[in-house]
């Protein structure tokens, strides 16, 4: 299954997902392509694949994205399709940290095989404080992310789950609980095979 994690920049998606990956080592994480430059400490191929606009366009033309979208007015972000297909073929669950436009595309492509989770801040002021406290963006880039945040909030209704990232540990446990519950859905398992086995043993 795919677990899609959306929410405004600065809400703590990256922090919550990295804690989830520590707890669920068999969960894979999709590494997106972006046309934005790396922040201090971000590693190419780990946090994102940092690509030029030309390269991004080539990848779009070559059909290399599962989904892609323009975010923060002038930046492009996209999910490479090959690692997602490889993970699913291997039976590995995969987390996608993408915006609401990407979440909508994934829902259309994967239906119930994707769980859509929105990470919300405890308040607007807390979001602003986290974004500013991270100190990774210029004032202009921060303003664009706050404008994007308002757009994200207008689309909360399309998600299936909301996790309020107030206390970090609780948010991580809630996201992990969603993952575990989704794995137990009838459509996530080969229930007909299970039924056959149980019936032949009865
Ligand atoms: P995102 O990936 O959504 O852009 P980050 O994971 O980079 O957000 O988190 C933004 C900032 O908020 C970071 O400085 C992070 O340490 C901090 N943060 C994350 N979760 C919490 C939390 N529950 N309480 C307080 N600060 C948090
Ligand atoms: P930043 O990390 O630049 O502050 O914000 C990135 C924004 O783009 C976040 O809202 C994040 O969810 C979104 N994003 C990251 N990767 C992708 C992707 O591959 N596709 C889409 N649609 N959105 C993405």
Say which CATH number the domain at 134 has.
Answer: 3.40.50.300
CA atoms of 48 and 144, how far apart (whole Å): 20
- Mean pLDDT, the chain, whole residue set: 96
User: Which residues lie with the beta carbon below 6 Å from any ligand 2 atom?
Assistant: 6, 9, 32, 36, 67, 69, 71, 77-79, 97-99, 101-102, 145
Mean pLDDT of 46-69: 98
* pLDDT score recorded for residue 201: 87
Q: What is the pLDDT of residues 147-177, one digit of tens each?
A: 999 999 999 999 999 999 999 999 999 999 9
Which pTM was predicted?
0.96
For residue 137, the model assigns a pLDDT of 87
Domain membership of residue 61 (yes or no) is no
Q: Is the C-beta atom of 11 inside 6 A of ligand 1?
A: yes
How many folded domains does the chain comprise?
Answer: 1
User: The sheet that has 49-50: what strands, in order across it?
Assistant: 49-50, 33-34, 75-80, 65-71
Domain contains 114: yes
**Residue 78 resides in a domain:** no
CA of 14 to the centre of ligand 1 (A): 7
User: To test ligand 2's pocket by mutation, which of 3, 77, 95 has the most ligand atoms within 8 angstroms of CB?
Assistant: 77
Residue 65 has a pLDDT of 98
| Domain enclosing residue 139, as ranges | 2-30+91-201
Assess whether the C-beta atom of 168 lies below 6 angstroms from ligand 1.
Answer: yes
Residue 189 — very low, low, confident or very high, per pLDDT cuts 50/70/90?
confident
Question: Is 188's pLDDT higher than 90?
Answer: no
Asked whether residue 19 is domain-assigned, the answer is yes
Please indicate, yes or no, if residue 97 is contained in any of the structural domains: yes
Can you give the pLDDT at residue 45? 97
Ligand nearest to C-alpha 134:
1
- 42 part of a folded domain: no
Helix (H, G, I), strand (E, B) or coil at 191: helix
In tens, the pLDDT along 2-39 reads 999 999 999 999 999 999 999 999 999 999 999 999 99
Residue 50 domain-assigned? no
What confidence tens digit (pLDDT) does each residue in 93-143 have?
A: 999 999 999 999 999 999 989 999 999 999 999 999 999 998 888 899 999
| Residue pair 6/175 in contact by the 8 Å Cβ criterion | no
Within-domain flag for 104: yes
Helix, strand, or coil (residue 184): coil
Ligand 1 atom nearest the C-alpha of 7 is 3
Question: For the segment 131-147, what is each residue's pLDDT rounded down to a tens digit?
Answer: 999 888 889 999 999 99
Sheet of 114-120: strand order equals 28-29, 94-97, 2-6, 114-120, 161-164
Average pLDDT of span 191-201:
93
Q: Is the CB of 10 under 6 A from ligand 1?
A: yes
pLDDT of residue 94: 98
């Amino acid at each position: 299954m795919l677990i899609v994690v959306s929410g405004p920049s600065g809400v703590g998606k990256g922090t919550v997902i990295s804690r989830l990956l520590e707890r669920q080592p068999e969960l894979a994480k999709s590494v997106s392509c972006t046309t934005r430059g790396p922040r201090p400490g971000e590693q190419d191929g780990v946090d994102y694949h940092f690509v030029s606009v030309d390269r991004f366009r080539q990848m779009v033309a070559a059909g290399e994205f599962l989904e892609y979208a323009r975010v923060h007015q002038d930046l492009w972000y996209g999910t490479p399709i090959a690692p997602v297909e490889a993970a699913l073929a291997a039976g590995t669950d995969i987390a996608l940290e993408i915006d609401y436009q990407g979440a909508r595309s994934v829902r259309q492509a994967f239906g119930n095989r994707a769980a859509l989770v929105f990470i919300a801040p405890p308040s607007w002021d807390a979001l602003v404080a986290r974004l500013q406290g991270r100190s990774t963006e210029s004032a202009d880039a921060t303003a664009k992310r706050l404008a994007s945040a308002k757009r994200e909030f207008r689309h909360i209704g399309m998600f299936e789950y909301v996790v309020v990232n107030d206390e970090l540990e609780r948010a991580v446990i809630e996201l992990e609980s969603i993952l575990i519950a989704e794995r137990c859905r009838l459509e996530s398992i080969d229930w007909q095979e299970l039924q056959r086995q149980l019936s032949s043993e009865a």
